Amino acid sequence: MSNENPALFEQLQLRQLTLPNRIIIAPMCQYSADEGKTTDWHLIHLGNLAQSGCGMLILEATAVEPRGRITHGCLGLYDDETESTLSRVVEACKKYGNTPIGIQLGHAGRKASAHPPQNGGAPLKLDEDSWETIAPSDIPFANDWHRPRQMDRSLMKHVIEAHVQAVHRCERIGFDAVELHGAHGYLVSSFLSPIANQRTDEYGGPMQNRMRFPLELFAAMREAWPATKPMGVRFNGTDWDDKGLLLEEAIEFGQALKKLGCDFFDISGGGNNLSRPEVKPAYQVQFATAIKRATGIPTMAVGMIRDPHLAEKLISEGACDMIAIARGFLFEPRWSWKAAYELGATCDYPAQYARANPLLWPQAFPDNQELNDTALDWEVGAAPHIMVPKN
């Protein structure tokens, strides 16, 4: 095994937050909230992931008002009850975990008021306790979807204030970072996309106008968030449709966000209509790379990056600065440990789990003498969750 630390396990500085490595657990909706409030499911789910030793854990999309939830089971952060229950979960994650904790704030816009994916994902009917949806234009997401209310300036200001209040709650709770959800066809994404935004005023038309509201929103959130803490944005690099957001427009948005003090980007794609790409490992990395190189902002790549060696290659070659993994962590909640083991790196283990590190198992690898020799050359350090070489 090489003595050189793999690029995937190098630290990354975002303002005064130091990420121990470049592995990010991406936001993953659990559809398990009770009227926006966390439940014991979130305590177990997030507590487990918080012990993975990754660079940062970002909580699932969290609505800034009840109308902004995708489903009845989505998290919210818009009143004292939602703040209190979420605070309990984050406190436990920080007490027993070993990774920075971020949160993704957002608003579902015209894709709100729906069933969860496991129940088909269709829009709620009137007798299913549906609610009003809002959007830049009164264009439904798809056939049989709700016709959203077109936002006027007063409603835009209301939504901005709801995000700002959620940011203040995030600070009281103790989050280390905030990410604005600007992808996947939800409210911010729908303003950016000409598929969903067909306004004729100063908030529609050319990209300079379509990104006006998202930039006003981010600027207000950034001002409300401590200067010492990072704030980023997840946004699309493409709509996977020539009639939608184009890469050059996504780059323009990224450059504008940079001027407002954005600290990181999380680049995804699609969701403003039913267009879908061919899905394969690293299928969206090209967009993250282009935006990273055009802006110089630390950028996450997403999309089926499950192989540690592929993740290492992308980081080491400068295609991106961080790897965001979602479903891969549901399947392998200790993916970061696996990656460290395969790449010859060190990774933080909770003290209670330190003995799980294969490097502490002499002769655990009957068919690989190199690994056996390596295991014999390591020991538990003064802090038992950190592995150090023997003298």
Answer whether residue 347 is part of any domain.
Answer: no
Q: Phi and psi (nearest 5°) for 332?
A: -130, 85
Q: Domain limits at 151?
A: 8-332
pLDDT for residue 278 is more than 60: yes
* Token pair listed for 309: 């060696």
Tens of pLDDT, residue by residue over 196-207, are: 999 999 999 999
CATH of the domain at 162: 3.20.20.70
Longest Cα–Cα distance of the chain, Å, equals 70
The reply to whether 186 belongs to the active site is yes
Answer whether residue 379 is part of any domain.
Answer: no
Nearest to 256 by CA among 201, 220, 216, 310: 216
Mean pLDDT of 266-286: 95
* Domain count along the chain: 1
pLDDT for residue 390 is more than 60: no
pLDDT at residue 371 in the model? 53
Please enumerate in sequence order all residues whose Cβ is within 8 A of that of 29, keeping only pairs 6 or more positions apart, or say none. Answer: 60, 61, 70, 71, 74, 116
pLDDT at residue 362 in the model? 59
Answer whether residue 338 is part of any domain.
Answer: no
Tens of pLDDT, residue by residue over 176-185, are: 999 999 999 9
pLDDT at residue 384 in the model? 40
CB atoms within 10 A of CB 174: 12
pLDDT for residue 300 is more than 90: yes
pLDDT at residue 363 in the model? 58
Answer whether residue 322 is part of any domain.
Answer: yes
Question: How confident is residue 364, by pLDDT bands cut at 50, 70 and 90?
Answer: low
pLDDT at residue 25 in the model? 98
pLDDT at residue 203 in the model? 98
pLDDT for residue 374 is more than 80: no
DSSP state of 37: B
Answer whether residue 355 is part of any domain.
Answer: no
Q: Give kind and range of the element (H or E) at residue 322.
A: strand 322-325
Answer whether residue 369 is part of any domain.
Answer: no
Lowest mean pLDDT among 45-49, 73-77, 179-183, 277-281: 277-281
Answer whether residue 96 is part of any domain.
Answer: yes
pLDDT at residue 386 in the model? 45
First to last CA, the chain: 17
Answer whether residue 378 is part of any domain.
Answer: no
CB atoms within 10 A of CB 95: 9
Catalytic residue among 31, 186, 203, 341: 186
Tens of pLDDT, residue by residue over 88-146, are: 999 999 999 999 999 999 999 999 999 999 999 999 999 999 999 999 999 999 999 99
Q: Phi and psi (nearest 5°) for 90?
A: -65, -40
Question: How confident is residue 369, by pLDDT bands cut at 50, 70 and 90?
Answer: low
Q: Go through the chain and tell me how many residues it has.
A: 391
3-state secondary structure 97-125: CCCCEEEEEECCHHHCCECCHHHCCCECC
254 vs 368, residue with greater confidence? 254
Tens of pLDDT, residue by residue over 15-55, are: 999 999 999 999 999 999 999 999 999 999 999 999 999 99
